[in-house]
Amino acid sequence: MEIRTDLALEKAQHLSRDINGVHTSEYSHGDMKMTRLEVTTPQAAQQVGQPIGCYVTAEGLDLTQDFRSVREHIEALGHEIAAMLPKEGTVLVVGLGNRDLTADALGPVSVGHVLATRHIQGTLAAQTGLDQLRSVAVVAAGVLGQTGLEASEMVGGLVTYLHPSAMIVIDALAARSTARLGTTVQIGNAGIAPGSGVGNHRKPLNQEVFGIPVIAVGVPTVVDAATLVRDRLPEDADPTCWQRLTQEPPMTVTLRNIDLLTERAAKLVGMAVNCALQPHYDFDTLAALV
């Protein structure tokens, strides 16, 4: 059975480090461990199971327990997002997911913390001292069952009208391990396929489709129930136990305090996006504006 995860780092764990077309480096931002995984060839992309691109995984957070070092984490994540963006032009920020389903609400809740600035220009910008704000448009795309629209269809219309220089897409992710729920952030420049982590593949949002860089930011909020059970099986367990699990209907599970995790992760990601998009303003100013 395929391991269900949206994290490139988890998908690449079974590969040897010297595989052609996959380059990994590790570094630190304060108490966060950062792993940069670059997939550079079609063959490597097929082996990893992720599109060609760069994926930065931040580990060492604990949004359910400790929210004290959040400023340092936000600024570090903002630095990583900014490195993948063009320096100028309007940026469209899109929140994916279902606001009414807590484990899937990261995108819509996060964009509520992102500073929309496209309307602040000219005299208004000069009078308020905000003339250095980068133009940003923000939207929560909803889900097909609520809107009757694929996220890619809605976003496609906005891209045609706004002509942004780049897009940032925020979505909840699936992880292979429960230890990553609320402790990991993934930032990648290969876009995203909404719903892929829970086996509900939708049309992708990426540069190939829209012709602009698409930066995907996500936090794992769910794991697959079958792999969760497999982790708890003893090493000498009857192999047929796993075989029976793979025959059961697919189930996805989350943490009991997912509401707290989603709220804090949304603030973290939303403010990190603000730091990436508005480098002329310090953290306190951005927090006040939001």
- Domain membership of residue 287 (yes or no) is no
Judge whether 90 lies within some domain: yes
- DSSP-assigned beta bridge partners for residue 26: 35
Indicate the helix (H) or strand (E) that contains 57.
strand 53-59
pLDDT single digits (tens) 90-137: 999 999 999 999 999 999 999 999 999 999 887 777 777 788 999 999
Q: Is residue 290 part of a domain?
A: no
> How many domains does the chain fold into?
1
As a whole number of angstroms, the distance between CA 270 and CA 145 comes to 25
Within a domain: residue 38?
yes
Distances (CA, A) of 61 to 57, 72, 144, 175, 257: 11, 11, 32, 15, 16
Could you read off the pLDDT of 210-228 as tens digits, one per residue? 999 999 999 999 998 877 7
CATH number where 132 lies: 3.40.50.1450
Residue 160 inside a domain? The answer is yes
Measured at the CA of 38, the angle between CA 272 and CA 9, to 5 degrees, comes to 70
Per the structure, the complete domain to which residue 105 belongs is given by 8-281
**Which of left, alpha, beta for 104 (phi over 0: left; psi -120 to 50: alpha)?**
alpha
pTM score, whole prediction: 0.90
